[in-house]
Amino acid sequence: MHAHIPIRFGWTPLAACLLASLWISCDDDSPVNHAPEILGLGASQDTLSIPLLGFFNDLVTLSGSARDDDGDRIRYRWTAPGGVLAEGDSLTTVLWQAPPIAGSYTIELRVDDGSLVARDSLQVVVLTPEGPGRPTANMPPEAEFCVTPASGVIGTRFTLDASSSSDPETPLDSLYVRWDLDDDGIWDTDWSREKGLEFVPERIGLQSVRLQVRDEIHFVHQVGHGIVVGSAGPHEGIEMVTLPTGQFLMGQSGDPDGGTEHLETIARFSLGLTEVSNWQYLQALNWALEQGRVTISGQSVRSHGRVLLLLNRGPTDLPEIGHDPESGQCYLQTVQGIQGEIGPGLADPQGYDPADRPVQFVSWFGAACFCDWLSEIQGLPPFYQGSWTRAVDTAPGYRLPMEKEWEYAAQYPDDRIHPWGNAAPTCELAVYTPVEPCAVWPRNVGSLPAGASELGLLDMAGNLREWCTLWPWAGPPPTDTSHASSRGGAFDSAWRDLKCFHRQTSQLSSTVHGTGFRVCRTLP
């Protein structure tokens, strides 16, 4: 009656990432969050001289100003050798006690608006007056370390090696180091002459590790590195379910969302067992980046002049795929923000692994492009190739299902109301929102086997709405404002959206939570 066809493919490993991820909006119709900007940074004196006698008591006044064009509240953090000097809201002026040790001291100002960060720094030089018998100026150490491996997954043991640090006056063995393993301003280790450390990260996403190196007279230098931590997996490839040739009554007359009932004939095809997951989309996206199929333009993944996917948004929009501009790679990230009454911060307050959650914030174009990437990876002719229209639906590559194919698969083999049958929906059958939501964020793909269709298709109702398309496309080539349907309802949908015949329409460029997709193929 049906067959499950496992299809697996290999992926390029994730690369090392930048110290801080960007919060950027990628939907052309959504407001763009701007990073704060440091307007000025200065010191009351940038060169000081140690007196011949007595303790050096001069204070340096540090001043800095910043703005945020979005009107977001800005938090300041001043860091001097030895650690954080001061931090707080609107802290534009602080005092620093320069030490009585000759050398060059780096003062850093960091400002953030809750997600995006700007940094700047200045140097204050402390000199010893020239003269016979006077001590020469001590040079600061140079902090440096490497991370092995450059990226990993939950459970990976990372090795930090600071043996490349140096100091002109102090042997390496006499330098002290300490580590802040999550860049929270709290040092996780005490000062030690051991230059190596192993640690195992406890969360998914882009993380920053900070090192401080101190010489024998307590002059300090610090540096940081970013580490990408992915999902532990294993995560399977796309699995397909075969649908036989047949006829069915499509639509539901009398229902405003069902359309007019009419008979449809369906050719043999296969449909994804589940919605496409974050992990599956991520791996194909990184392949597409390496192959030059897409670009990251400001706030979005783009191809063929279209926005495909949102990346790195802030607390009101929560994509789980981020981008590192230094390595050019994308990575998975956990998001803990809350949008109104929904979001992973409510659904999973203890944290979660985003790998097997269905991909969201993907436009119809982004779903179509994934189908082409998957086809190319598996050596199949790509279906869309940026034209978005086809005269026939017999090409062998992956594509989005036609509405009639999706509805046929959902209600097969009879005229049932829901994919599992005619029983009323419950939270054991679908992730949706009755009076109280079953979940306030999508669950892992395929997590409710009780709600499977007759042929075993999972999440055909609830979790995410799924992009579909009409074939052939009627009218001129589609634009950003053209519309396509989505089927199945989402985690924030009412019960009526879970009916097999229910349909919604959205602009092809729409990149919002609650909408994803599953892939389809025409079979001979």
DSSP 115: S
What is the per-residue pLDDT for 379? 92
Q: Give the 3-state DSSP-derived string for 161-215, with helices as H, strands as E and coil as C.
A: ECCCCECCCCCHHHCEEEEECCCCCCCCCCCECCCEEEECCCCCEEEEEEEEEEC
Q: List pLDDT tens digits, range 192-210.
A: 999 999 988 877 777 789 9
pLDDT of residue 433: 93
Q: How confident is the model at residue 56 (pLDDT cuts 50, 70, 90)?
A: very low
Mean pLDDT for the chain overall: 82
pLDDT at 329 over 90: no
Q: Residue 103 in contact with residue 117, Cβ under 8 Å? A: no
pLDDT at 7: 39
pTM: 0.67
Tell me the per-residue pLDDT of 71-112, one tens digit each, with 9 for 90 and over: 888 889 898 877 788 888 878 898 888 876 777 788 889 888
Q: Is pLDDT of 133 > 50? A: no
Task: Indicate if the pLDDT at residue 18 is higher than 50.
Answer: no
Lowest mean pLDDT among 243-247, 329-333, 405-409, 443-447: 329-333
Q: Examine the pLDDT at 137 and tell me if it is beyond 70.
A: no
Q: How high is the pLDDT of residue 359?
A: 97
What letters, b where the CB count within 10 A reaches 16 and e where it falls short, cover 442-473?
bbbbbbbeebbbbbebbbbbbbbbbbbbebeb
520 closest CA partner among 257, 251, 267 = 267
Q: What are the tokens at 439?
A: 């979940």
Mean pLDDT: which of 63-77, 162-176, 224-238, 451-465 is highest?
Answer: 451-465
CB distance 519 to 405 below 8 Å: no
pLDDT for residue 152 is more than 80: no
Q: How far apart are CA 63 and CA 46, in angstroms?
A: 12
Q: In the structure, how many helices (H) and strands (E) does the chain have?
A: 4, 30
pLDDT, position 466: 98
Residue 52 has pLDDT above 70, yes or no: no
Which residue has better confidence, 494 or 258?
494
**DSSP state at residue 416:** -
Q: Which of 151-155, 279-283, 393-397 has the lowest mean pLDDT?
A: 151-155
Q: What 3 state SS string does 61-113 have?
A: EEEEEEECCCCCCCEEEEEECCEEEEEEECCCEEEEECCCCCEEEEEEEEEEC
Q: What is the pLDDT of residue 99?
A: 75
pLDDT tens string 426-454: 999 999 999 889 988 899 999 999 999 99
Q: What is the pLDDT of residue 392?
A: 63
Query: Region 283-298: what's the mean pLDDT?
Result: 92
Residue 174 vs residue 258, higher pLDDT = 174
End-to-end alpha-carbon separation of the chain, Å?
16
Of all residues in the chain, what percent carry a pLDDT higher than 90? Answer: 44
Dig out the tokens for 358 from the structure.
């269905």
Q: What are phi and psi of 155, to 5 degrees?
A: 100, -15
Residues 6+ apart with CB under 8 A from 414: none
> How far, in Å, CA of 4 to CA of 411, rounded?
18
Q: Which of 518, 203, 255, 241 is nearest to 368 (CA)?
A: 518
Q: In the prediction, which pLDDT does 391 show?
A: 62
Residue with token string 């009107």: 71
Separation of alpha carbons 485 and 507, rounded Å: 9
Please report, as a single letter, which amino acid is at residue 331.
Answer: Y
User: What is the spatial distance between Cα 418 and Cα 411, in angstroms, rounded to a whole number?
Assistant: 7
Selection from 355, 347, 279 nearest residue 492 by Cα: 347
Q: How far is CA 83 from the centre of its chain?
A: 30
Note the pLDDT of residue 349. 67
Torsion of CA 413, 419, 424, 426, to 10 degrees: 150
Q: Could you tell me the pLDDT band of residue 70, with boundaries at 50, 70 and 90?
A: confident
Q: How many CA atoms lie within 13 A of 504 on its CB side?
A: 21
pLDDT-based confidence at residue 234 (cuts at 50, 70, 90): low
Tell me which of 15-24, 484-493, 496-505 is least confident. Answer: 15-24
Helix (H), strand (E), coil (C) string for 296-319? EECCEEEECCEEEEECCCCCCCCC
Q: Are 98 and 56 a contacting pair, CB within 8 Å?
A: yes
What is the rounded average pLDDT of the residues 2-13?
A: 39
Rounded Cα distance, 108 and 105, in Å: 10
User: Is the Cβ–Cβ distance between 25 and 32 less than 8 Å?
Assistant: yes
pLDDT value at residue 49: 73
Whether the predicted pLDDT of 16 surpasses 60: no
SS3 content of the chain, % helix, strand, coil (to 5): 10, 30, 60
What band does 493 get if pLDDT is binned at 50, 70 and 90?
very high
Percent of the chain with pLDDT over 70: 83
Average pLDDT over every residue of 5-20: 34
